[in-house]
Structure 1
Amino acid sequence: MKVPAGTTAGSAVTEAGLPSNGEEAVVVVRDQDGDLRDLTWVPEADAEVEAVAAGSEAGRSVIRHSAAHVLAQAVQDLFADAKLGIGPPVQDGFYYDFDVERPFTPEDLQALEKRMKQILKSGQQFRRRRLDSVEAAQQELAGEPYKLELVDLKSEVDTSEVMEVGGGELTVYDNVDRRGEVVWGDLCRGPHVPHTRFIPAFKLTRVAAAYWRGDQNNRQLQRVYGTAWESKDKLAEYEQWLAEAERRDHRKLGAELDLFSFPEEVGSGLPVFHPKGGTIRRELEDYSRKRHEEAGYEFVNSPHITKDALFKTSGHLDWYADGMFPAMHLDEELDADGEVRKPGQDYYLKPMNCPFHNLIYRSRGRSYRELPLRLFEFGSVYRYEKSGVVHGLTRVRGMTQDDAHIYCTPDQLQDELKSLLGFVLDLLRDYGLDDFYLELSTRNEEKYVGDDESWRVATEALREAAQDSGLDLVPDPGGAAFYGPKVSVQARDALGRSWQMSTIQVDYHLPDRFGLEYTAPDGSKQRPIKIHRALFGSIERFFGVLTEHYAGAFPAWLSPVQVVGIPIADEHTEHLAQVAQRLRAEGLRVEVDRSDDRMQKKIRNHTTQKVPFLLLAGGKDVEAGAVSFRFRDGSQINEVPADDAVAALTRWVRRRDNTSPTADTFRSELA
């Protein structure tokens, strides 16, 4: 629609008869440059704009940022000495950082919610005001030290602070009551909803500690998180989603199902896997090994620690040192007088496997006939993640990567990338993930090595392979590693959340730094191109994602215990033990519950442990040489001949069916 010069965008919205309430309510407009504008915006010349509805992603973001301002107003109403940090919208919600005398309590959150509701009901307007100079901003914000710092840094703010300070000007949003009086204000770039009644549904969710501007050397602040939506129904849907996400939390399920733990004695971000978790992990790895063997990969192995020279050559000590554990100074020898007779050396835990694979490639001469050479390793690496970002299995300090490095000629690059991407997607589907999109990470102009041409060729090769896959391709400007661009596979789980899975990177740089060569058909020495590829990303992270995707109810082929026999009485135990022995001979993982618990309690216990198949046997079953099936959902199939049961269970598990068996789905297996 058109906004005539000298009139407000809000007037044009009203003139066009567009909604002013409900999920379709127009909250802001988008101008011809793609910038979002308040409805009070007045263009100097006629402007074509797009109306942005409350229920759109952009509309929700504006609602959430406005809710963050209401939160900050409520905090300063109830805690007069609170100093303001930043308050941006984030995925599914918002947060605001505060410097307060003591941490917020659950009771404080309740009081803040109550005060926010009062502010929303009062219908305050968000009114934009431009400050004439940095000096004017400094004078107005004299009591807000963190805002003053943002004013001083306005030319170099990071993405989390861009909502606070605009690039070319400084603006404040005043909250104005019905009498026209300013009751609160905040340094902000905007835009905001017209007034607080455009925030129909919100909830404060939690409090966490946060360092100012993400720097642990700065003061620790209190970060209050919340969510806001375009309607009460959407908020209710989100709360149901949160409850389901909590039920699926892999950290909770890991303890309940006895899969893994994080002992305090070991250290943050360093998990240990229990027997049941170890079984799942082994199955993940064994199937991956089988598929890699079929695809022509060659298996290698490298140590966990190395001299610093290797990471100097690779460039990791120049570009990645912050993500590495500190050096261990070893091998120093002293004489009898305590003087150094032999200097020591620095050793590092490896954060990457790729430099070791370069040494394997370089260990002898290579011919073009050997290429592409595909090296594969389940290699353990160690990365010094800050304690604030360590999270269960999905962000750890010690991990095992299913790491592959492919060395190929320039002529082979495109075909290898397409084949590799197909291999990755097919293998992820085998584990039960099938909703993907791709992300193309391009060069960070402040952190890269190599020449422009090699980066261009590598980027375009990845782009072509990604587009050829038929999946959506999303740009990630500046997200590449220092040595080359990357395509990452983003997989959506059962709750619709996106997880970065496999990554594929094209690297012209490391082959050059390590002097890698192959002999071409004409006898000349040529430089190979290197492709980095991690399929799971890390086994730990993939384990955590699958745990949440399946809510702990793993497919039968991955389940640590696939079948449990439950006798109705002790005299039926031997019959089930014989069936179990036959299943073990077929490679299935089977237990017979010989405990003194009553049958119903046994059923409840093993259902809670999410065992896919329970085999029950009573007098009729024993007499008929049969068993009865009970499934996770409570459905049953009674009196199945033992021969048929063994054959059907074996087929189901070997087929690697990723669905959870029920009476309806398994009955066809018995037909």
Structure 2
Amino acid sequence: MTEQIAVSTIRVQLPDGSIREVPSGTTPLEIATSISPRLAAVVVVAKVKPMAGLDINQSEGGQDDAPDAGSEEAMYDAALSPSAERIIDLAMPLAEDVELWLLKEQDEESLKVLRHSTAHVMATAILELFPETKLGHGPATDAGFFYDVYRETPFTEDDLAAIEKRMGEVVARNDAFVKETEPREDALQEYAAEGEFMKVHFIERFTQAGEPVSLYRNGGFTDFCRGPHVPSTGRVKAFKVTSVAGAYWLGDEKNQQLQRIYGTAFFNAKDMDAHFKRLEEIKARDHRVLGKQLDLFSIQEVAGAGLIFWHPKGGLIRKAMEDWMREDCIKRGYEMVFTPHIMRRELWKISGHEENYGENMYPPMELDDAEYRLKPMNCPGHILIYKNSPKSYRDLPVRYAELGNVYRYERSGTMHGLLRVRGFTQDDAHIFCTPGQIEDEVTACIEFAESVLNTFGFHEFKVELSTWDPNDKKFIGSAEQWGVAVGSLRNALERKGIPYKTIPGEAAFYGPKIDIKLVDVLGRMWQLSTVQFDWNLPARFDLHYKGEDGELHQPVMVHRALFGSVERFFGVLIEHYAGAFPFWLAPVQVGLVPISEKHLEYARTVQQRLKDAGVRVELDERNEKMNAKIREFGVNKVPFILIMGDKESQSDEVSVRTRGKGDGGAMSTEAFVARCLELQKSHSAEL
């Protein structure tokens, strides 16, 4: 009699709601094949989610959501607990009831997986050509991928071309990406024997003793990796090795100098061509180039890296930005304050910055009475103003705002024009309130942030709620405090109906935060606005207010910055508008071009009328041809150019040329002034 072996079954729910019962161990590719061989040929990767009622922690192994570029923790899946939805290989056996999505090339998750697989293809090519190279990691990024490698000899442009050519050969082999496991100690010994110090570090940091190590093999190349990957190297269709740059091992300049080789990959050549066209547009909008061309700002080597000099035209734009911010702060119940640039070191010890932020501060300065440090933050100064006089519950909330200069030590090589600097102006505010007021105050901060973005022409943004990691010692405070704080921020977002993504472990050491990332005209995200909860500093500085019960109570505190920094926001504005600022921000709003010298007197009259109305106007009195003057105003992206000849001077009119639209014909000077005033008032981006 033949013994019958029972095979357990699992349930798989497809996106249409249908449920299939299949043997445990069935792969997503087998399910795709059972649906349609044509479907199986086009799917790239799978996404699974435990069916309702199942414990996420019992789900099958694989990688969580795709990692952020460069983060070791994200790269090696070091989150506190698995994500509900996970991306897995098509060859991954399913061992429990799951919801299943079969992802094709057009799905966003598929592109990240393709790029990570292409990084492995590049690593394969590098080792075949330069076997002495030691490998770090190779994550996908928003623009492509990179691989950190160690090699004493720098890679040249010819080397990069050779790597790209060999990658084509690796792709042509169509080797399958195969997941394998190995005992942790065996993997450590093998990598150590080969001098692969980075792999040893990653295994020691991101795996536990006794657990098997996840490896991926394609042909003769094997790498420590948790995946997932596309089915084979042949699925890598369009790719390019783009550049190489330096990167210190673990970000520490005392460690080995690595080489970071960048590349990009797409599922087809058309998408890759579009990507490089977009890069050309980004290059044309580079704020460093436009800043020089339009004479807005400079960074002077003799003064030092990361320090910004605002030129007159950039200064005018800065004034418009800051005037708007100050006026709106006052309208929203903030009081404007000013605090010193340097303060005693003891203050930073009380605040905790000396201990938790010291490496980002400049060294102490010894003065007559004590050691002083340049301020990296405005918050301790605002706290001292609050503490200078007793407060009652009737006084709260107290809102202090400051456009304050702060100084932070950025490492060499990390600075980038206006976007990453060592000295900057933070549009900082701190709100001191009762616990019962916190949710309303956070909601008001979010509304203020929306107003800032919309006023300056940004109508799309993404929101992240960063929470704590109770196992990370850098976070201070009790679980109860964190629960209240996170709950308040979450409730504020939900009251506004704003979608958000929770980011565990990314809070400030003193409390959770909401980060608002604007999306510019090219679809790029920029981290600028932030709202942060803090009970730590009120406790450290022993802040109080007298409650309705007559007793002293500790206030809670909200940090918020909406520009983030004036410098960074300005850099983003330059690139968003490609230097063609809205009328209300343009340093020169109107350019005047008299056709000949005999029209100069009338042009001066128009100039004065515009000045009297508050318009920033420039008259070109040079003895140059009219077209040359028009061309120069055009190069400087002036919103309006007014041309004045016999007809205009006799009828009190101006001939208007509008940026981006051309000749708009004649209109009365009075009507044009009214048009300017309306544009100034409305803050419209349209002319």
If the length of structure 1 is used for normalisation, what is the TM-score?
Answer: 0.89
Q: Distance in 2 between matches of 1:488 and 1:168?
A: 36
* Distance verdict in 2 for CA 1:137–1:600, change over 3 Å: same
Aligned to 1:451: 478
* Distance verdict in 2 for CA 1:542–1:614, change over 3 Å: same
Cα displacement (A) at 1:140: 6.3
Cα displacement (A) at 1:29: 5.0
Aligned residue for 1:505, secondary structure, equals: strand
* Distance verdict in 2 for CA 1:464–1:7, change over 3 Å: closer
Aligned residue for 1:531, secondary structure, equals: strand
1:542 aligns to 2:585 (yes or no): no
Give the partner amino acid of 2:291: G
Once structures 1 and 2 are overlaid, which stretch shifts more, 205-214 or 579-588?
205-214
Aligned to 2:203: 154
Deviations 1:62-83 (A, max 9, x none): 1111100111122223323222
Q: Of 191, 201, 206, which aligns to 2:238? A: 201
Aligned residue for 1:54, secondary structure, equals: coil
* Distance verdict in 2 for CA 1:168–1:92, change over 3 Å: farther
Aligned to 1:27: 45
Cα displacement (A) at 1:526: 1.7
Aligned residue for 1:125, secondary structure, equals: coil
Aligned to 2:268: 231
Q: Of 128, 131, 148, which aligns to 2:182? A: 131
1:408 aligns to 2:461 (yes or no): no
Aligned residue for 1:135, secondary structure, equals: helix
* Distance verdict in 2 for CA 1:136–1:481, change over 3 Å: closer
1:654 aligns to 2:672 (yes or no): no
Percent of aligned pairs sharing the same letter: 44
Aligned to 2:417: 392
Aligned residue for 1:203, secondary structure, equals: strand
Matches of residues 72-471 of structure 1 in structure 2 within 5 Å?
72-136=123-187, 138-139=189-190, 142-150=193-201, 153-157=202-206, 168-176=211-219, 183-331=220-368, 345-445=370-470, 446=472, 447-471=474-498
* Distance verdict in 2 for CA 1:378–1:278, change over 3 Å: same
Contact map agreement 1:64 1:94 (CA 8 A) in 2 = yes
Give the partner amino acid of 2:293: E
Aligned residue for 2:381, secondary structure, equals: helix
Contact map agreement 1:4 1:45 (CA 8 A) in 2 = no
Contact map agreement 1:438 1:488 (CA 8 A) in 2 = yes
Q: Of 2, 7, 13, which aligns to 2:32? A: 13
Matches of residues 42-53 of structure 1 in structure 2 within 5 Å?
42-43=93-94, 49-53=100-104
Q: Distance in 2 between matches of 1:464 and 1:628?
A: 54
Cα displacement (A) at 1:377: 1.0
Listed as ranges, the gaps of 5+ residues in structure 1 are: 177-182, 332-343, 662-671
Cα displacement (A) at 1:167: 9.8
* Distance verdict in 2 for CA 1:172–1:373, change over 3 Å: closer
Q: Distance in 2 between matches of 1:83 and 1:383?
A: 34
Contact map agreement 2:139 2:147 (CA 8 A) in 1 = yes
Aligned residue for 1:254, secondary structure, equals: helix
Once structures 1 and 2 are overlaid, which stretch shifts more, 99-108 or 589-598?
99-108
Aligned residue for 2:110, secondary structure, equals: helix
Contact map agreement 1:63 1:192 (CA 8 A) in 2 = yes
Contact map agreement 1:579 1:646 (CA 8 A) in 2 = no
Once structures 1 and 2 are overlaid, which stretch shifts more, 37-46 or 203-212?
37-46
Contact map agreement 2:401 2:430 (CA 8 A) in 1 = yes
1:554 aligns to 2:592 (yes or no): no
Cα displacement (A) at 1:636: 1.1
Contact map agreement 2:513 2:532 (CA 8 A) in 1 = yes
Cα displacement (A) at 1:248: 1.5
Aligned residue for 2:419, secondary structure, equals: coil
Cα displacement (A) at 1:144: 4.2
* Distance verdict in 2 for CA 1:166–1:500, change over 3 Å: farther
1:565 aligns to 2:592 (yes or no): yes
* Distance verdict in 2 for CA 1:555–1:133, change over 3 Å: closer
Contact map agreement 1:4 1:46 (CA 8 A) in 2 = no
1:68 aligns to 2:119 (yes or no): yes
Give the partner amino acid of 2:312: P
Cα displacement (A) at 1:136: 4.9
Q: Distance in 1 between matches of 2:477 and 2:284?
A: 47
Contact map agreement 1:257 1:609 (CA 8 A) in 2 = yes
Q: Distance in 2 between matches of 1:329 and 1:566?
A: 57
Cα displacement (A) at 1:570: 2.5
Cα displacement (A) at 1:478: 1.4
Aligned residue for 1:90, secondary structure, equals: coil
Once structures 1 and 2 are overlaid, which stretch shifts more, 355-364 or 101-110?
101-110
1:641 aligns to 2:632 (yes or no): no
CA RMSD of aligned residues (A): 2.3
Cα displacement (A) at 1:8: 4.0
* Distance verdict in 2 for CA 1:198–1:546, change over 3 Å: same
Q: Distance in 1 between matches of 2:33 and 2:44?
A: 10
Q: Distance in 2 between matches of 1:652 and 1:350?
A: 38
Cα displacement (A) at 1:455: 2.0
Contact map agreement 1:371 1:409 (CA 8 A) in 2 = yes
Q: Distance in 1 between matches of 2:189 and 2:199?
A: 6
* Distance verdict in 2 for CA 1:542–1:321, change over 3 Å: same
Aligned residue for 2:193, secondary structure, equals: coil
Contact map agreement 1:259 1:277 (CA 8 A) in 2 = yes
Q: Distance in 1 between matches of 2:210 and 2:644?
A: 74
Q: Distance in 2 between matches of 1:47 and 1:406?
A: 46
Deviations 1:257-281 (A, max 9, x none): 1111111112221111111111100
Contact map agreement 1:142 1:148 (CA 8 A) in 2 = no
Q: Distance in 1 between matches of 2:379 and 2:603?
A: 50
Aligned residue for 2:300, secondary structure, equals: coil
* Distance verdict in 2 for CA 1:20–1:205, change over 3 Å: farther
Aligned residue for 1:438, secondary structure, equals: strand
Give the partner amino acid of 2:350: T
Q: Distance in 1 between matches of 2:648 and 2:99?
A: 77
* Distance verdict in 2 for CA 1:442–1:359, change over 3 Å: same
Aligned to 1:665: none
Q: Distance in 1 between matches of 2:379 and 2:184?
A: 52
Aligned to 1:335: none
Give the partner amino acid of 1:248: R
Cα displacement (A) at 1:222: 1.1
Aligned residue for 2:509, secondary structure, equals: coil
Q: Distance in 1 between matches of 2:39 and 2:150?
A: 37
Deviations 1:270-315 (A, max 9, x none): 1111111111001100111111111221111110111111111111
Contact map agreement 2:591 2:641 (CA 8 A) in 1 = yes
Give the partner amino acid of 1:118: E
Once structures 1 and 2 are overlaid, which stretch shifts more, 624-633 or 608-617?
624-633
Aligned to 1:512: 539
* Distance verdict in 2 for CA 1:620–1:45, change over 3 Å: closer
